[in-house]
Amino acid sequence: MSVVARATSLLIALAVVVAGIVFVAMHFIAGQPTVINYVPYASDGQVNVVMQTDPQNTVTNKPDWPSYFVQNPQTKQWVHTTYFEVPANTKVNMTIYGFDGCTPLRNPYFGKISGTIGDVEYINGKATSQLNSWSDCSVQHTFTMPGLGLSVPIASPTTLNENNNLCGTSPCTTAKGAANYGPYQLVQFSFMTPAHGGIFRWQCIIPCGLGYLDGNGGPMQTPGYMSGQMEVQA
Amino acid sequence: MADEAPAISAAAQEPRHGMRLLITWIVLSAICDPLFYILAGPHMPPGDMSSSAADQQFDLNVLAMFAIPVVIGVLFYIGYALTFWRAKEGDEEDGPPIHGNTKIQLTWISVTSAIVLFLAVFGTVELWVPAGAGAGEGPQPIWKPDSSNILQVQVIGQQWVWTYRYPQFGGFETTQLELPVNQPVEFDVTSLDVIHSFWAYQLGVKADANPGVNNVAYTTPKALGEVTVRCDELCGLWHGAMYNYGKVVTAAQFQTWVQQTRTQLASVTALLPPFSLTYDPTNIATLGSVLTKLGLTGAGGGYYNGNDLEQP
């Protein structure tokens, strides 16, 4: 083989390796879930954000991982993501349909609602300031945003019958009779975004990675499932 | 005999390099050490907000003042050698043999031994005197503050949040770290899941938070102000976001805050497990009964399923 041919082969091999590294970096490391932009839909200093929690997600290759979904405000379609964008200095009215079964809090301190307006959440319309997940297993996940001091336990179906008949296809629906219907709790709360822009990470603080050591793996460690971020646009 | 005369003459003309180097080194060190201590010393991390922070700052200053003469000596020697002992063009003669110079060997061994031994003794004293220097001493600390009025604060790490329990005030738990000035504090650091590390930077306190282990660290806040608390052990997806801020306040402000917070959190305090130096979330009777009642095998407490294919 001539020197030119050998050099060309080496350069091609090098290019392939570099391209592979770039692909891995961009696709797996730098890649992030879709960001749902609620900014254009804010009015009168408020914006409505709608999410749901599912006991599974049949839209990914990890169907046994519980997951949040965010509703696209324009199409009303559910998107498998946990990233959303809201304006600064705005009241966020959050609605979460909780379709997952109960998993008690590891630390019952987070049964207390904090950081919301009035330090309450509304479960099926009823104001609640605290949930005891250890006495009646009434909590499935949390929406916890440490940067804003926000922590809200998401109520779960509480009866054995309901927990054995959870929604089996995601995204779940509240329409009875539909194949992807399941028992749920309607959780609502409001909080203020800060006056300045920034990125605020949020997470479920219940180790809900079923099958992983201490429940801390899988969906707990993967953005787009049980953790996400709120991007505040100034 | 006639050939030796010029050599003796050249040796007599050779300046006393050793004396030159020594004097210059002493002068430079005598200038730079005080300059460093006066100008940079007060700004050395982590500041002097607590007894342990001030001690760490002092330690760093002492180490720096030892290091500065060494650095000066090395750099000045290199510069001197490059200037005065540079080989002339065409000069391929070997340098003078110094192998077996007992004086140099003894000096080198004595000086380096003295420095290392001093630092070993100094380091031990500096761990002992400030009650562990703000580091985690494990569950049975051997160095404790000499005080009967120690505030106990339990630090609980959980992916990815810090919470603090105050067992001397009813055991309430909060995400706010608040401490009174001039009162010794005992941090009992533990974790509910993986290994974290409690690092209260301005207080000069750092202690690993291990599940099932109580890691004790002491300090005494000496100044009012804000404290940054970070996790200093890579602990998962959002390790980098695991931080919050604490405050050092006056004793009166602390008492007011304690009373208010205790009252505000009374209902959730009633839900907490009794105060314990460590917690095993997989072994809580009520938790197990809830799951049994509902026929669940939830993931919330380490219910470890060895048959699960995704088990790491």
- The per-residue pLDDT for range B77-93, each reduced to its tens digit, is 999 999 988 888 888 88
Q: Which among B193, B295, B299 is the nearest to A103, CB-wise?
A: B299
Q: Is A37's pLDDT higher than 70? A: yes
Return the residue in B193, B275, B294, B304 with the most chain A beta carbons within 10 A, the one to mutate for interface testing.
Answer: B294
User: Is A155 an interface residue toward B (CB < 8 Å)?
Assistant: no
Q: Is B252 at the interface with chain A, CB within 8 A?
A: no
Strand order of the sheet with strand B225-231? Answer: B177-180, B243-249, B225-231, B196-200, B205-209
Sheet bearing B215-219, strands edge to edge: B172-174, B161-166, B151-158, B185-191, B215-219
Q: Is A182 on the interface with B (CB under 8 A)?
A: no
Tell whether the model's pLDDT for residue A47 goes beyond 80.
yes
CA dihedral A125, A131, A132, A133 (to 10 degrees): 80
**Residue A200: closest C-alpha in chain B:** B241
Pairing type for strands B185-191 and A185-192 reads: unpaired
- Residue B308 — pLDDT band, cuts 50, 70, 90? very low
User: CA B59, CA B281: separation in Å to the nearest integer?
Assistant: 40
For chain B, counts of helices (H) and of strands (E): 7, 10
Q: Which of residues 67-126 of A touch B (CB under 8 A)?
A: 101-109, 111-112, 114
The yes-or-no verdict on residue B69 having pLDDT over 50 is: yes
| Residues in A touching B210 (Cβ below 8 Å) | none
Interface of A with B in 6-25 (CB under 8 A): none
Q: Which of A132, A163, A218 sits opposite B271 (nearest CB)?
A: A132
Q: Is B62 on the interface with A (CB under 8 A)?
A: no
Considering chain B, what is the average pLDDT of its residues? Answer: 86
Token reading at A211: 């099958």
Q: Give the chain A residue whose CA is nearest to the CA of B265.
A: A112
Could you tell me the pLDDT band of residue B9, with boundaries at 50, 70 and 90?
low
Residues above pLDDT 70, as percent of chain A: 98
How near does any CA of chain A get to the CA of B260, in Å? 16
Question: Domain limits of chain B?
Answer: 15-84+103-129, 151-269
Q: What are the CA-CA distances from residue A225 to residues A49, A81, B4 (Å)?
A: 17, 7, 89
pLDDT at position B10: 53
Tell me if B301 and A215 make a contact (CB, 8 A cut-off). yes
Answer yes or no: are the C-beta atoms of A66 and A22 closer than 8 Å: no
Q: Which residues of A touch B164 (CB under 8 A)?
A: none
Measured between alpha carbons, how far is B146 from B131 in angstroms, rounded to an integer?
8
Could you give the C-alpha distances from B96 to A132, B85, B100, in angstroms and in order?
84, 11, 12
Reply yes or no on whether the pLDDT at A98 is more than 80: yes
Q: ipTM > 0.90?
A: no
**Chain B residues with CB-CB distance to A223 below 8 A:** 237
Instruction: Identify the CATH homologous superfamily for domain B151-269.
Output: Cupredoxins -  blue copper proteins (2.60.40.420)
Contacts A165 to B, Cβ<8 Å: none
CB burial class (10 A; 0-12, 13-18, 19+) of residue B113? exposed
